[in-house]
Amino acid sequence: MKINLLKSLPKTWKKKPLKIRHSASIEDRILSWRLDKEYFDGNRKQGYAGYKYDGRWRPVAQDFIEHYKLKDNAKILDIGCAKSYLLDEFGKLLKKPTLCGLDISHYAITKSNKRIKKNLCIGNATKLPFEKNYFDLVISINSLHNIMTLDELKKSFKEIKRVSKKNTFISLGAYTNKKDQNILDNWAVVATTYMSVNSWLNFFKHVNYRGDYWWFKPN
């Protein structure tokens, strides 16, 4: 089901200098693809330009808890967890959760909160190191469209279905017109498989994805 569970995030896109990405050099793009310090804490041409925490994920975590009626001992997996800010908020709001995260960036994992770091894995979603039907909630926010090929995406969705009991939420880069596509082309520096909204919906049918979803559109 299409549902915006990220509505509590601050509306900052209008303040972000989207045009700066147009001037990114080949060297900037190469540094971005390392998914290292330059991508998270470098300049705007290379990525986030300082991926620091300002508290924005707390209301989002609360929205997830309320929508999915998560209990204090809920098991939650965040695919593409980066520095684990969202997982950390789940840990503050729930009494005894099992929190797991996965990210391809060794740098991001090393910068995560010490309370969460022991439960974080380095890797992608094509082969998740968890048991079948283990998690009460699996989430992936603006991550699965990065780095992967279409075949890897198919494997990832299959894995997400395998490890989740029922509840899943995925946010993906999508566009409905050429203008939106051009913005994604320049903004999403490591995205490889973002598609049109209709293409994503067809993909969901192909992989039998019936979980919740939302579209990432930086405009």
For residue range 150-176, list pLDDT tens digits in order.
999 999 999 999 999 999 999 998 999
Q: How far apart are CA 54 and CA 51, in angstroms?
A: 10
Q: How far apart are CA 102 and CA 153, in angstroms?
A: 15
pLDDT tens-digit readout, 101-140: 998 888 888 888 888 889 999 998 999 999 999 999 999 9
Dihedrals φ, ψ of 193, to 5°?
-130, 25
CATH label, 56-216, candidates 3.30.70.100, 3.10.180.10, 3.40.50.1820, 3.40.50.150? 3.40.50.150
Instruction: State the pLDDT confidence band at 192, using cuts at 50, 70 and 90.
Output: confident
Q: How far apart are CA 66 and CA 106, in angstroms?
A: 32
Minimal CA–CA distance to 160: which of 209, 122, 116, 193? Answer: 209
Residue 156 one-letter amino acid: S
Q: Is 35 helix (H, G, I), strand (E, B) or coil?
A: coil
Mean pLDDT of the chain: 85
Q: How far apart are CA 193 and CA 145, in angstroms?
A: 5
pLDDT tens-digit readout, 15-34: 455 555 555 554 645 445 45
Please calculate the CA angle 66-67-69 and round it to the nearest 5 degrees: 60
pLDDT tens-digit readout, 136-147: 999 999 888 777
